[in-house]
C-alpha cells in the first residue's frame, strides 16, 4: 500500500498552504499533511512557503515585516494559476491548521521550519515559537527542516518527533542521520541516487516531488514509506485503482 503525504495540502487544485488545500486533502482520505512555516514580525508561526508575498499573494512585502493580524487578512488566491477562482482565500496561522485536525487523531502533520526564518530571527526564537504552538498537538505533529540544528533543537527542547529534509545523499549525511536518529528522512526524488535501496535506519522515508503512480511504485520498492505529492486528487485515485487491481 502506498501512503500519500499532501505537499502543502492539495496544492495542485487549491492555493498551496491554505485551509482549503488541507481540507481538500483530508476529504480525499489522506492522513498525512505537510506545510511550511515562517515567522511573522511579532513571532507568530505563519503557514507560507516564501517569506515574500509576491508569488502567492501578488503583492510586495515580507511576512517578516508584518504582524500576524495583518498577514491573516492577506489573500493568496495564486491568480497566476487559478485566476479569480480562489479570491478571498487567506494565509492561515499554524494554530489554524492544528485546529482543523484536532478532531482527526489519525492525521499526522509535518511542520517544516524554513531556513529564511531561522536566518532572520535565530534558532532559539523560531524553534521555540513553533514548539509552543504544536505542544498541545505534539502527538500529531512532526517538526521538520533542511536545517539540521533546528530539528536537533526541536528534539532536545520539545521532545517532539522530528524529520530531516536532506540536501545530499553522501556517506557523511548518512552518518549524521544515524547520529540524529530522526523518525523521518525526507528526500527529493529528483536528487536521489539512481537505483538501489534507500538507507535503512530508525527513520521512515518520505520522498517528495512525485506525481505519477509508476514513480511512486518504484520508490516504494526501493524502501520509501511515504510518497509526498501536490497532485493529491490524481495520485489518490491512482493508488485506489492500484489497490483494487
pLDDT at 205 over 90: yes
225 is catalytic: no
User: Average model confidence (pLDDT) for the chain?
Assistant: 97
Q: For residues 131 and 214, what is the distance between their CA atoms, to the nearest angstrom?
A: 37
Write down the domain spans for the chain.
Answer: 3-51+94-244
* The pLDDT of residue 85: 97
Residue 244 has pLDDT above 90, yes or no: no
Q: Which CATH superfamily is domain 3-51+94-244 in?
A: Phosphatidylinositol (PI) phosphodiesterase (3.20.20.190)
Which of 49, 123, 138, 172 is labelled catalytic? 49
Q: Per residue in 8-46, pLDDT tens?
A: 999 999 999 999 999 999 999 999 999 999 999 999 999
Cβ–Cβ contacts within 10 Å for residue 193, how many? 11
CA 106, CA 108: separation in Å to the nearest integer? 7
Above 90 in pLDDT, residue 195?
A: no
Catalytic residue chosen out of the listed positions 7, 138, 172, 225: 7
pLDDT recorded at residue 1: 83
Which cell numbers hold the place of 227? 510518497
Spell out a b/e string for 106-136, using b for 16 or more CB atoms within 10 Å of the CB, else e: ebbbbbbbbebbbebbebeebbbbbbebbee
Q: With CA atoms as reference, report the closest residue to 164 among 187, 141, 194.
A: 187
CB–CB of 142/162 below 8 Å?
A: yes
- For the question of residue 226 being annotated catalytic, the response is no
Confidence band of 245 (pLDDT split at 50, 70, 90):
confident
- Residue 228, pLDDT > 90, answer yes
pLDDT at 159 over 90: no
Q: What is the pLDDT of residues 39-74, one digit of tens each?
A: 999 999 999 999 999 999 999 999 999 999 999 999
Percent of the chain residues topping a pLDDT of 90: 96
Report the share of the chain in percent with pLDDT over 70: 100
Determine the angle formed by the axes of helices 213-222 and 232-244, rounding to 10 degrees.
Answer: 70
**CA-wise closest residue to 96 among 71, 63, 79:** 71
Is the pLDDT at 158 greater than 90? The verdict is no
Classify strands 141-145 and 161-165 as parallel, antiparallel or unpaired.
parallel
The answer, yes or no, to whether residue 7 has pLDDT greater than 90, is yes
Residue 154: its pLDDT value, please?
97
d(CA 201, CA 164): 13
Amino acid at each position: 500500500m502506498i501512503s500519500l503525504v499532501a505537499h502543502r495540502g492539495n496544492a495542485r487544485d487549491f492555493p498551496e498552504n491554505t485551509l482549503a488545500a488541507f481540507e481538500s486533502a483530508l476529504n480525499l482520505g489522506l492522513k498525512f499533511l505537510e506545510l511550511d512555516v515562517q515567522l511573522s514580525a511579532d513571532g507568530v508561526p505563519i503557514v507560507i512557503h516564501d517569506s515574500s508575498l509576491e508569488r502567492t499573494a501578488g503583492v510586495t512585502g515580507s511576512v517578516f515585516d508584518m504582524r500576524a493580524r495583518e498577514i491573516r487578512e492577506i489573500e493568496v488566491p495564486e491568480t497566476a494559476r487559478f485566476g479569480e477562482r480562489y479570491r478571498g482565500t487567506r494565509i492561515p496561522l499554524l494554530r489554524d491548521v492544528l485546529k482543523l485536525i484536532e478532531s482527526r487523531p489519525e492525521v499526522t502533520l509535518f511542520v517544516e521550519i524554513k531556513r529564511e526564518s531561522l536566518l532572520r530571527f535565530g534558532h532559539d526564537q523560531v524553534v521555540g515559537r513553533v514548539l509552543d504552538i504544536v505542544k498541545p498537538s505534539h502527538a500529531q505533529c512532526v517538526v521538520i527542516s533542511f536545517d539540521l540544528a533546528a530539528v536537533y533543537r526541536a528534539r532536545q527542547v520539545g521532545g517532539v518527533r522530528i524529520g530531516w529534509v536532506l540536501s545530499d545523499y553522501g556517506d557523511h549525511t548518512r552518518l549524521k542521520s544515524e547520529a540524529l536518529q530522526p523518525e523521518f528522512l525526507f528526500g527529493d526524488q529528483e536528487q536521489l541516487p539512481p537505483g538501489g535501496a534507500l538507507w535503512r535506519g530508525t527513520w521512515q522515508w518520505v520522498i517528495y516531488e512525485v506525481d505519477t503512480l509508476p514513480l511512486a511504485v518504484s520508490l516504494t520498492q526501493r524502501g520509501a514509506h511515504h510518497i509526498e505529492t501536490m497532485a493529491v486528487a490524481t495520485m489518490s485515485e491512482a493508488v485506489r485503482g492500484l489497490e483494487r487491481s
